[in-house]
Structure 1
């Protein structure tokens, strides 16, 4: 049993025959065929662990919809090719720990397929099972684009605020956060990251030079065999991504984020990417899902450069 639902049908909505959109090139895939693609999409419709406002379970469908209408051509890298869709993870009923265990089992099989998984979330609690199978394959670094550090202690069970504490306790070798806000994460958690050699980069540093900021974060992951990249959409300025669990002012711009994601994905150590906390019910319109879809497009384009 794969633990995956059947992938949806993809169609590009444009009537212009010269338009090529992701809806025209994404193909249904299975675990057996995943190795035929450079990257495979995996949906994770779950928000049972959110500390703040829920709604992220509707993220995968909204991101797919917006991505289907996004054109495939990057001005500098050319068109994106070779993308499959494995469908959604078939999530069980139960508490967060039960869901994490089931996701980890399915995701391990996805990582075994010879393609880079791109997880469409869903809430941040699934970062742990999405990345944990990579810990069994060598030294792992995590690169997180997030307004928060998400290193809360796991006292009464895991939440969307605990994934990097869980990964550290499971053996994470290196950690870098880009876009972390002032006054959003408590001193104890900053100290936790610092004590483990983590690198934290603020939006001010990103604004000065986005590429230098992400390269500095990648340098902090020197010596690892694989890099797992996570995008929590609350890293963006709240006006650009209002449909998230915890929108806050002072974030990075979409332009800065897309440039950093493309550069990060071009690192040939990248073994997985996720976009989390896209919660369409929490906004009027589709700004957040559209930003998420373009983020995925930039990652897919960057992956093509790095391989």
Structure 2
């Protein structure tokens, strides 16, 4: 039992023989073969912990569908290859803690392979099991592209708003949040993050110099051994990504986000990446899923999966 479903076949929809799309290059893999690839995709169809509006359980399928039709060529880095799909994590019934524990048993095995996992969410509560296995062997810093800090106190049960409080308790060394909105997260949680030595870069600190901003975020992590990167699509301006649990105005542009993802992926300490809170039932057409797919493509191009 691997806790993973069999990956569905990938196929590029273009009829042009000169087109190479992700659907043409992503291969099916399992845990035994995962280490042969630079990166592996892992779906996490779950939204049982979301604070806002549900729908993110449909995110993995939608992001895969949009990615399959996305061309592999980055203008500056060349074409992406060496990517596989491990299928979806099997989500058990029950409460959030049970789900987090079950997912962690799978992600622990994935992190043990010689590849970088790219988790397709799913809600932000699964950031905990996605990143926690790294804490057992390394010092770890996280970069979170998010409109919110997600460090609420855990009360009755974990939620999509508590992952970084949980990870700090488990040993996360430091956190930098890029794109957090003014007037969106309460003072108590900003104070908490400051007490943990965290760094917050709001959208106006990114505009004009996104590469400088992400370099500042990486520098804020210090000399940690591993870096985990999380993208909550609500970090974007609401018009660019309406299909999220909690869209808010004043966010990043897609151009800023894509440049930063390509940059951060080039850090050799990066040990995992996730895209969360893509909720197709809340979307305007396929706008948000398409942005999520492009975000994955930009991350992969920066990771070094380019020929």
Q: How does 1:72-111 map to 2 (within 5 A)?
A: 72-111=72-111
Post-superposition offset of 1:284: 2.9
Q: 2:83–2:305: 8 Å Cα contact kept in structure 1?
A: no
Structure 1 match to 2:36: 36
Structure 2 match to 1:271: 271
* 1:257-303 deviations in Å (ceiling 9; x for gaps): 00000000000000000000000000230000000000000010011
Structure 2 match to 1:116: 116
Q: How does 1:13-28 map to 2 (within 5 A)?
A: 13-28=13-28
Which stretch has the larger CA shift, 296-305 or 89-98? Answer: 296-305
Runs of 5+ unmatched residues, structure 1 = none
TM normalised by structure 1 equals 0.99
Name segments (4+ residues, structure 1) moved above 3 Å. Answer: none
Q: How does 1:161-200 map to 2 (within 5 A)?
A: 161-200=161-200
Post-superposition offset of 1:185: 0.3
Alignment partners' CA distance in 1, 2:195 and 2:212: 24
Alignment partners' CA distance in 2, 1:107 and 1:292: 21
Structure 2 match to 1:233: 233
Q: 1:267–1:306: 8 Å Cα contact kept in structure 2?
A: no
Q: How does 1:40-59 map to 2 (within 5 A)?
A: 40-59=40-59
Alignment partners' CA distance in 1, 2:138 and 2:246: 33
Alignment partners' CA distance in 1, 2:283 and 2:290: 12
* 1:152-185 deviations in Å (ceiling 9; x for gaps): 0001110000000000011110110000000000
Structure 1 match to 2:256: 256
* 1:126-172 deviations in Å (ceiling 9; x for gaps): 00000000000110001000000000000111000000000001111
**SS at structure 1 position matched to 2:207:** helix
Q: 1:150–1:163: 8 Å Cα contact kept in structure 2?
A: yes
Q: How has the CA–CA distance of structure 1 residues 197 and 306 changed in structure 2, closer, same or farther, with 3 Å as cutoff?
A: farther
Post-superposition offset of 1:305: 6.8
Structure 1 match to 2:61: 61
Post-superposition offset of 1:306: 10
Q: Do structure 1's residue 131 and structure 2's residue 131 form an aligned pair?
A: yes
Alignment partners' CA distance in 1, 2:212 and 2:60: 31
Q: How does 1:122-161 map to 2 (within 5 A)?
A: 122-161=122-161
Runs of 5+ unmatched residues, structure 2 = none
**SS at structure 1 position matched to 2:147:** coil
Post-superposition offset of 1:208: 2.5
**SS at structure 2 position matched to 1:208:** coil
Q: Do structure 1's residue 303 and structure 2's residue 303 form an aligned pair?
A: yes
Alignment partners' CA distance in 2, 1:190 and 1:283: 30
TM normalised by structure 2 equals 0.99
Structure 2 match to 1:216: 216
**SS at structure 1 position matched to 2:105:** helix
* Cα root mean square deviation, aligned: 1.0
**SS at structure 1 position matched to 2:60:** helix
Q: 2:57–2:121: 8 Å Cα contact kept in structure 1?
A: yes
